Structures are given as structure tokens and as C-alpha cells.
């Protein structure tokens, strides 16, 4: 996990890998659940990858950019790092899931959701210094 990049807008943005592998599909489902539960707002990873100025500006202004990748390739996180933005990065294979052998089903969504909820609940922002106190 890398450190969180922070701004002053008080918004957490969620970006998920939605790659061709099962763990990519799982990442997407987890991010959507987190957004529905109010842990952040989904944003467009493709917009970051395509260097679309509005998406880049939103990411730079966000309190935290949270990436959920399926595998160690960390494609979502690397989109940010390439642009000089440090995301709070989570990788499902580091949570015990195996690429190519993980069925996208509720029980495989619930386990990482529990972990991520706990970690995301610990994130706060120091408004005087404009720095996240991530996990």
C-alpha cells in the first residue's frame, strides 16, 4: 500500500481495476459497494489513463484517491503514479485472492470489503497541514 495523495476538497475518489481477469471484476464490484456505502465517490480510471484534464484536476483536488487493483500489476495505481499523484492503493492478490482462480461471488466480495471498510474508516484529514492520516 502506498501513501495517500491529499488535497483540500474533502472528497474521496474511488477507482477500480476492471480488467479482464476475475480479480479485476471483483475489484470493480468492491469499489461500487464502497461508493454505495458512502466511503467515496466512484470516478473514471479511463479518464485518468487518457489524461483528460477534468479527471486529472479532480484527482489532484481530492482528499484521497483510492485505487483497488485486482493483481500485482497495479494498473489503477500506476495511472496515478505516472502523473505524480500518490493514491491509497489496495491490491486484492495481497489479500489472498488468486488471479484466474477467484470466482466473482458475494463471499469473495464481503471479505475484502470488511478489510477496506476498516482501513477507510481510519482515514482522516489534518486541515491545518492538508495531509491525510491514512491508516
CB 18 within 8 A of CB 31: no
Confidence of residue 9 (pLDDT cuts 50, 70, 90): low
pLDDT, tens digit, 9 for 90 and up, residues 18-74: 888 999 999 999 999 999 999 999 999 999 999 999 999 999 999 999 999 999 999
Determine, yes or no, domain membership for 2.
Answer: no
Q: How many domains does the chain have?
A: 1
User: For residue 3, is it within any domain?
Assistant: no
Instruction: Write out pLDDT tens, residues 88-126.
Output: 999 999 999 889 888 889 988 999 999 999 999 987 644
Q: Looking at the domain assignment, is residue 39 inside a domain?
A: yes
Per-residue model confidence (pLDDT) at position 103? 84
Q: Is residue 27 part of a domain?
A: yes
SS (H, E, C) the chain: CCCCCCCCCCCEEEEECCCCCHHHHHHHHHHHHHHHCCCCEECCHHHHHCCCHHHHHHHHHCCEEEEEECCCCCHHHHHHHCCCCCCEEEEHHHHCCCCCCCCCCHHHHHHHHHHHHHHHHCCEEECCCCEEECC
Residue 50 lies inside a defined structural domain of this protein: yes
CATH number for position 97: 3.40.50
Give the C-alpha separation, 78 to 67, whole Å: 10
Indicate the pairing of strand 124-126 with strand 64-69.
Answer: unpaired
Cβ contact 72:1 at 8 Å: no
Query: Does residue 109 lie in a domain region?
Result: yes
Boundaries of domain holding 117: 12-133
| Residue 65 main-chain phi, psi, to 5 deg | -105, 115
Amino acid at each position: 500500500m502506498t501513501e495517500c495523495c491529499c488535497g483540500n476538497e474533502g472528497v474521496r475518489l474511488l477507482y477500480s481495476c476492471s480488467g479482464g481477469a476475475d480479480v479485476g471484476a471483483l475489484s470493480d464490484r468492491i469499489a461500487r459497494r464502497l461508493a454505495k456505502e458512502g466511503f467515496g465517490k466512484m470516478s473514471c480510471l479511463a479518464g485518468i489513463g487518457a489524461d483528460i484534464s477534468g479527471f486529472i484536476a479532480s484527482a489532484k483536488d481530492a482528499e484521497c484517491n483510492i485505487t483497488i487493483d485486482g493483481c500485482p500489476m497495479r494498473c489503477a495505481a500506476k495511472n496515478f503514479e505516472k502523473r505524480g499523484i500518490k493514491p491509497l492503493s489496495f491490491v486484492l492478490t495481497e489479500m489472498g485472492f488468486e488471479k484466474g482462480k477467484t470466482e466473482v461471488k458475494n463471499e469473495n466480495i464481503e471479505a475484502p470489503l470488511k478489510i477496506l471498510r476498516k482501513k477507510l474508516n481510519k482515514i482522516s484529514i489534518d486541515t491545518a497541514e492538508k495531509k491525510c492520516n491514512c491508516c
